[in-house]
A and B are shown apart, each in its own frame.
Chain A
Amino acid sequence: MKRHMKLLTTLLAGLACLALFALPALAQDRLYVASEGAKLKADKSASSDTVAELPVGTALRVAGQEDSWYKVTVGGNTGWIYRGKVAASPPEPSQQGGDNLFGGAGQSTIMVSEADSARSMRGLNASEQDAAKAAGRPTRPLADYKNALDKILAEKVDKKEIEYFLKSGRIGEYAK
């Protein structure tokens, strides 16, 4: 009798544990695209054909994992995706007005109607000028700093160039 009781308790405890551990395991069946520039590849290699380009947040059904690649199904297509491109939950999208990573920064933030105010908001007040002087920095006209920033924001980097950069450095999915 005692032994039966023990068995029952063990069984119940085991069931409870199973329920706890089964949850994360189920969650693993689903992953989300969490990076820009993610691609579904025909094989577990960056040089294989691209089956589809996958936007951030896309839900993927996981069929398996080999090396650094997940075999996934999405929208009727099955293929492989590099482990660095996925996460257990999708990243929180930025608030409206956000541009994508490769948009021109200046372009994304300054709409024609607000151009003047956006630029004038960057103005510095007198106390900051004093601080600059105290730091021993040569006092430049304010316009110099604003122009330098405008130049920075006007710089553009192409998506293809980053791909080439990663490829030539054999980084991530391009590693041999």
Chain B
Amino acid sequence: MSAKRILTAPLTYLVLAVFIALPALAAAGFLDNLLDPSSKERKMLSGAQSVLSSSQQMDYKSERTIGERLAVEGLRRYGMPVDNQKLQHYVNLVGLSVAMNSPRPDIPYRFVVLDSPVQNAFACPGGIIFVTSALVQTVQTEAQLAGILAHEVGHVALRHALKSIQRSQFFSGVGQITAATMKGDKGAQFESMIGDLQNTLFDKGLDQNMEYEADASAMETTYRTGYNPAGLMEVLLELKRIEASSPDKKGSWFSTHPPLTSRIAKNQAQMRKYPDAAKLAVLADRFKAQAR
């Protein structure tokens, strides 16, 4: 037996053994440290807990209360619902069709077309989703509308708005919003939190990564439903085309969403996941019959 074999064989086993044992060793150290109240790990954990308790413990009813409060502000800023029952009903049918297959299929969504010349769509926590009449005019097919609505459903499903303000003082110690939590200091903190949310949803826009995440979610959701997932990207391309000539960008999709070029590129890359996309529903004619 050569010396080399004697050396290498146990070495191979040793490497394998260490490889397998490493995560276990690390976990043991982590657990030990966790028991020590002054350890870094313990502090990290308690920090994580307070962040979690700020948003994850919120029940659906509270989330919806915040959403309805923001919805009133959305109506005020962008305009009243378009007075066209056929259009409103159609948009709800498309929206609910995709919401059923979204990452959060178990809450009641509502979709509303607002009478506004600004190109935009936005989602209130809890599932009230607005799309402006100008954006509906830009859309050409049902698959495109489905893409836009699924993007907003994605924000609701992934709780983006709430996550972006979860460090708000209001949430400390509030599990559920009730009449009692609206009084005194808490009432003032509630107002301040709503102000932050308005700023995020209507002026500043959500975090860029949340937009990318909502795009990815929208493509997956429309694909699962059976629409061509390219619909969202087609609308983004059209928005990019009209962006230059758009006179008022304030409060529009252009000011509250990240640069269109990078979103289009990401969406294009994701299309590779859907080799049979071209065979899926587009429905340009039904869209024209129902929404024009």
Give A residues with C-beta under 8 Å from B: 1-2, 4-5, 8-9, 12, 16, 34-37, 56, 83-85, 91-105, 108-109, 111, 114, 116-118, 121-122, 124-125, 127-128, 131-132, 135, 137, 140, 142, 144-146, 148-149, 151-153, 155, 157, 161-162, 165-166, 169-175
Contacts and interface: CB of A to CB of B under 8 A. Distances in A.
B73 A128 contact: yes
B185 interface: no
Nearest to B112: A152
A166 B227 CA distance: 10
Given A98-B107, A122-B69, A157-B92, A5 B5 contact: yes
Chain B interface secondary structure, helix, strand, loop or mixed? helix
Interface stretch (B24-32, B165-173, B204-212, B278-286): B278-286
A105 B71 CA distance: 13
B213 to A, nearest CB: 15
Contacts of B97: 162, 165-166, 171
Given A36-B105, A171-B281, A114 B72 contact: no
12 contacts: A5-B8, A34-B105, A85-B224, A96-B60, A100-B107, A102-B108, A135-B251, A140-B76, A149-B71, A153-B68, A153-B110, A162-B96
A152 B81 contact: yes
Nearest to A103: B108
B223 interface: yes
Interface string B126-143: 111000000000000010
B99 A101 contact: yes
Interface in B236-253: 251
Contacts of A84: 101, 223-226
B278 to A, nearest CB: 13
Contact of A1 (B2, B106, B225): B2
Interface string B30-69: 0000000000000000000000000011111111110011
In the complex, which of the residues A101, A131, A142, A146 has the most CB atoms of chain B within 10 Å of its own CB atom? A101
Given A94-B106, A149-B75, A5 B64 contact: no
Task: Indicate the size class of the contact surface on chain B.
Answer: 35 or more
A132 B77 contact: yes
B77 A105 contact: no
A117 B108 contact: no
B292 interface: no
Contact of A35 (B100, B110, B279): B100
Contacts of A155: 88-89, 92, 110
Interface in B68-119: 68-69, 71-73, 75-77, 79-81, 88-89, 92-93, 96-97, 99-101, 103-110, 112
Contacts of A166: 97, 225-226
Contacts of B227: 171
A127 B195 CA distance: 10
A124 B72 CA distance: 8
A155 B85 CA distance: 10
B16 interface: yes
Given A169-B281, A169-B283, A175-B281, A137 B79 contact: yes
Quick one: which of A12, A100, A105 has the most chain B CB within 10 A? A105
Contact of B107 (A4, A35, A99, A170): A99
Given A84-B226, A98-B60, A109-B65, A37 B100 contact: yes
B262 interface: no
